[in-house]
Amino acid sequence: MARVGRTESPDAVVVLPGIMGSELVDADSGTMLWGGQPSWYVRAWTTGRELDLLRVTEDELNGNVGRVKASRLVQFPAFAPVLRGLEPYRGLVTRLKEHVRHPDAVMAFPYDWRLGVRLAATQLAEAAQRHLATWRAHPQGSRDARLFLVGHSMGGLVALDFLENFGDVADLRSIVCLGSPFYGSVKTVHVLSSGLGSPVPLPQRRFREIAITMPGVYDLLPRYRCVDEGVDARFVTASDLAELGADPALAAAALARPLPGAQTPPGLLLKCVVGVGFPTMQSLTMRDGLVSVGYHVCDNTTTPMSRIDRSGDSVVYRDSAVHPAAQADYIPQSHATLARTSEVVAYVISVLTERPLGPMLADTSDAIGFGIPDIVAVGQRFDIDIAHADPAKVSYRVVDPLTGETQLSGHPILSRDRLTASMQINRSGLYRVQVDASGFSPSEQLLMVVPAMEVTP
């Protein structure tokens, strides 16, 4: 019987991680500044010592970069308060290598996510062109090869900035964006305001102290009418951020970036995968320098203004992740997990090999989403709030992200029209919470459990 081979692409592939998706090291000493096993994140956010060198300095803001080096993509789940974190990209990279002519056609592009989209896109321009030239000259390469970019979260913004400002369109075939916040995320304002007003966990306060120095965080500010003023809605301004104690110059520069264009160059395929079904911050109110978030968008085209919950992937609300010039496909999955979900990996492969799967991701009628805290204390009881039409189908698991071993499992309880599961975890660490309804892959979110003293004001 003849051997049946895989469909292979002749192109050069570049994988761009999201914010927090690249390990960062001190360029001189090689000391790890961001990355490592889950225990590293628990220690970093509860002691703070490892995080000090992540602050962006005045020298770096003035263009003197190089103090920090992006060494590789994260190898383990990464976590930050409020933004939660993201899963590693090993599965996606491995599968991509199986569908090109040689593994050398696939390049991972780590970058210093602290410093923002524009600098990363500038560096991508050089790295991508070098990768393409090398692949075209490769013994198994192709002189007709072009670039195929797949970017998760901020990585999609880097890919689009590269296209608009540095890329040779003739060398680009496709860009696939996974959960990319083209119109920003309200969670970013929440990050920059954490620690102000009502008491919040110590790790969130520590994150704010370094986040307010990072251009990369400001690049994720919401750029739609998300400030709910009762009878109308408006855009976030640099003055708003200044009232919160953030850097108004960094805010103004980020908010001045052009919004996504309604067209792409002829011949370029642009696609977006959008997470849906999860409780997602979509609006905010600001009073006396304090921020309250809302889980609705404000439609000021109606009188009176209407408020609608559009949900999202827990970080990026669904309409913000849709580029106006792209085809969007939807899947019930969280932001952190999009790039590792089997359906999404299969979708990316289908675009790479030009073998479309059809409307596989379009039917979200069986979608399942859930909400959990981002940080809890050891022994603290907390609830998983689950949204699903058929409670009898739903089960949950809490697993160790390194070993996959189940720590807790069970079925939620329906009470007073709420589907919930109450639990506590008695050991600190980073955990993966999975909720399954026998439809898509289990919906997942990361949860950090810290010593009790670290969640007190």
pLDDT at residue 167 in the model: 78
For the ranges 117-121, 125-129, 163-167, which has the lowest average pLDDT?
163-167
Q: Highest-confidence range of 108-122, 301-315, 343-357, by mean pLDDT? A: 108-122
**Residue range 96-112, pLDDT digits in tens:** 999 999 999 999 999 99
- Of residues 442 and 115, which shows the higher confidence score? 115
Q: Half-sphere exposure of residue 426, counting CA atoms within 13 Å on the CB side? A: 2
pLDDT at residue 2 in the model: 40
Asked if 182 and 157 touch (Cβ cutoff 8 Å), the reply is yes
Mean pLDDT across 85-102? 95
Q: What is the DSSP letter of 20?
A: T
**Cα 414 to Cα 132, 387, 420, distances in angstroms:** 54, 11, 7
pLDDT at residue 175 in the model: 97
pLDDT at residue 200 in the model: 55
**Ordered DSSP codes for 359-400:** STTT--TT--EEE--SEEETT--EEEEEE-S-GGG-EEEEE-
CATH of 369-455, one of 2.120.10.30, 2.60.40.10, 3.90.1150.180, 3.40.50.850: 2.60.40.10
- Of residues 42 and 195, which shows the higher confidence score? 42
pLDDT at residue 454 in the model: 57
In the chain, what percentage of residues exceed pLDDT 90? 75
Interatomic CA distance for residues 70 and 113, integer angstroms: 8
Taking the CA atoms of 351, 152, 371 and 278 in sequence, report the sign of the dihedral they define.
negative
Respond yes or no on whether the N-terminal peptide bond of residue 304 is cis (omega within 30° of 0): yes
pTM of the model: 0.94
**Residue range 202-246, pLDDT digits in tens:** 788 889 999 999 999 999 999 999 999 999 999 999 999 999 999
Asked if 148 and 12 touch (Cβ cutoff 8 Å), the reply is yes
- Of residues 389 and 200, which shows the higher confidence score? 389
pLDDT at residue 248 in the model: 96
pLDDT at residue 159 in the model: 97
pLDDT at 199 over 70: no
pLDDT at residue 356 in the model: 58
Beta strands 227-228; 233-234: pairing state: antiparallel
pLDDT at residue 362 in the model: 43
Residues 79/103/138/354 CA torsion (nearest 10 deg) = -90
pLDDT at residue 154 in the model: 98
pLDDT at residue 455 in the model: 52
Q: What is the DSSP letter of 225?
A: S
pLDDT at 198 over 50: no
pLDDT at residue 360 in the model: 47
- Domains of the chain, by residue range, sit at 369-455
